[in-house]
């Protein structure tokens, strides 16, 4: 009877260890991939102040272009 129980117990423990190792490796790989995504997001992140500054500069350039176009249009109409 002991000859049947001992190998079955060893097989169950070994199988559990293999499953635990595979699950641990998958969780580790997933954690590494999430870290890489977080790093890519942090590298390409623009803070609000920088974005607002760039938008303000763009708007001021557009206003200058509009004023120049208005002056050209007014010269041709007169």
- Give the ranges where the chain is alpha helix by DSSP (H): 2-43, 48-77
Residue by residue, pLDDT tens for the chain (78 residues) are: 778 888 889 999 999 999 999 999 999 999 999 999 988 887 778 888 888 999 999 999 999 999 999 998 888 776
**What is the model's pLDDT at position 12?**
92
**What is the model's pLDDT at position 78?**
66
Q: Extract the tokens encoding 8.
A: 């079955």
Please give the Cα distance from 25 to 36 (Å, whole number): 17
**What is the model's pLDDT at position 1?**
77
**What is the model's pLDDT at position 76?**
77
């Amino acid at each position: 009877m002991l000859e049947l129980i001992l190998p079955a117990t060893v097989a169950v423990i070994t199988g559990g260890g293999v499953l635990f190792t595979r699950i641990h490796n998958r969780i580790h790989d997933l954690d590494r991939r999430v870290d890489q995504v977080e790093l890519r997001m942090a590298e390409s992140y623009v803070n609000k102040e920088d974005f607002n500054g760039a938008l303000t500069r763009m708007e001021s350039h557009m206003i200058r272009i509009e004023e120049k176009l208005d002056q050209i249009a007014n010269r041709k109409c007169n």
